[in-house]
């Protein structure tokens, strides 16, 4: 395997892991309830227990897994780290590549409702998992900040054969996307739903 190899990936969580999660939720040692009737002391105990019960007994992971596996998943090594990504191609001959980056503490699930409409609209969609998130590898050293991720994303797009692409992101993804736009690379344009700016050197003035 070379570091530039792109490998097909399929989400397949073992039953043992799902059973372990349910068992750990069932063994939760709950604290005493808060002494107020609102959220001023944090998330209410009753609501927390309701959520835990939902995750343990009602949430259908296999249905979610199947829904996500309708997309084309891959992994590739970039700068020593395995990066997971969805690469959904459009059938349109004039399709334009679009890189979309999720935020914190999110995942590629943020985009599951827009990937198909985007491909139908004429975009090849590339949706990577941030380092340490979802199915991407977890860094073992420091340094995977905005600049490094932005460079890795540009490497990914070029590796996929796109020498010109657009980029979109929100939250942490907006920071990464903004940096991609700053870099001298292959990105033609960016769109963010969390604009990032700072006051000029002389300050805000009166």
**Would you say 30 and 45 are in contact if contact means Cβ atoms under 8 Å apart?**
yes
Average pLDDT, the chain: 94
pLDDT at 1 over 70: no
Looking at residue 205, its pLDDT comes to 61
Q: Is the peptide bond before 54 cis (omega within 30 degrees of 0)?
A: no
Q: Which range has the top average pLDDT, 7-16, 182-191, 197-206?
A: 7-16
Query: CA 68 to CA 152: how far, in whole Å?
Result: 24
Looking at residue 202, its pLDDT comes to 75
Looking at residue 199, its pLDDT comes to 77
pLDDT band at 204; cut points 50, 70, 90? low
73-85 pLDDT tens trace: 999 999 999 999 9
169-178 pLDDT tens trace: 999 999 999 9
Looking at residue 196, its pLDDT comes to 74
Give me the domains of the chain, ranges plus CATH numbers. Answer: 12-59 (no CATH), 71-192 (3.40.50.1820)
12-53 pLDDT tens trace: 999 999 999 999 999 999 999 999 999 999 999 999 999 999
Rounded (10°) CA dihedral 3, 151, 165, 177: 140
Structure tokens at 61: 């992971």
Spell 130-166 as b/e; 16+ CB within 10 A means b.
Answer: bbebbbbbeeeeeebebebbbbbbbbbbeebebeebb
Return the number of other C-beta atoms located less than 10 Å from residue 192's C-beta: 19
pLDDT at 70 over 80: yes
pLDDT band at 3; cut points 50, 70, 90? low
Looking at residue 201, its pLDDT comes to 76
């Amino acid at each position: 395997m070379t570091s530039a190899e792109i490998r097909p990936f399929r989400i397949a969580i073992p039953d043992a892991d799902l059973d372990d999660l349910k068992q750990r939720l069932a063994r939760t040692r709950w604290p005493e309830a808060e002494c107020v009737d609102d959220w001023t002391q944090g998330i209410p105990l009753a609501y927390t227990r309701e959520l835990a019960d939902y995750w343990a007994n009602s949430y259908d992971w296999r249905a979610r897994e199947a829904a996500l596996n309708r997309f084309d998943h891959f992994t590739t090594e970039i700068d020593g780290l395995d990066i997971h990504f969805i690469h959904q191609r459009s059938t349109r001959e004039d399709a334009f590549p679009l890189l979309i980056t999720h935020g914190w503490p999110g995942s590629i699930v943020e985009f599951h409702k827009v990937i198909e409409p985007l491909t139908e609209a004429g975009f090849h969609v590339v949706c990577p998992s941030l380092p340490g998130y979802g199915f991407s590898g977890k860094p073992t050293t420091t340094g995977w900040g905005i600049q490094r991720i932005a460079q890795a994303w540009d490497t990914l797009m070029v590796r996929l054969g796109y020498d010109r692409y657009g980029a979109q992101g929100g939250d942490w993804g907006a920071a990464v996307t903004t940096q991609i736009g700053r870099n001298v690379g292959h990105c033609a344009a960016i769109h963010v739903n969390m604009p990032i700016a700072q006051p000029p050197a002389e300050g805000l003035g009166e």
